[in-house]
């Protein structure tokens, strides 16, 4: 009986961990000075150049909850 409970608990814990990973919130980064829209936007080192790119990605992926913008000027037409 204890073995079945242990197996059930292991399966349940694994399922919870997998669900938490699937629901993880993603942050995207924008740096108009040193970024590139060819980047992934997943870190400051791989930041997007334009806010348009970040907003388009955020509209396409509901997991993106935050867009961090580097200090500087961000103009909508650049």
Q: What does the domain layout of the chain look like in residue ranges? A: 2-69
3-state helix, strand, coil in the chain (%, to 5): 40, 15, 45
Q: Is 49 exposed, middle or buried (0-12, 13-18, 19+ CB in 10 A)?
A: buried
pLDDT tens digit sequence for 10-57: 544 454 544 444 456 789 999 999 999 999 999 999 999 999 999 999
pLDDT band at 2, cuts 50/70/90? low
pLDDT, residue 25, reads: 73
β-strand partners of 64: 26
- The whole-model pTM stands at 0.65
pLDDT, residue 18, reads: 47
């Amino acid at each position: 009986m204890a073995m079945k409970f242990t197996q059930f608990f292991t399966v349940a814990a694994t399922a919870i961990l997998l669900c938490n990973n699937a629901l993880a919130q993603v942050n995207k980064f924008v740096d108009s000075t040193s970024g590139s829209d060819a980047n992934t936007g997943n870190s400051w080192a791989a930041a997007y150049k334009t806010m348009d790119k970040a907003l388009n990605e955020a509209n396409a992926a509901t997991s993106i909850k935050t867009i961090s913008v580097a200090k500087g000027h961000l103009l909508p037409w650049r």
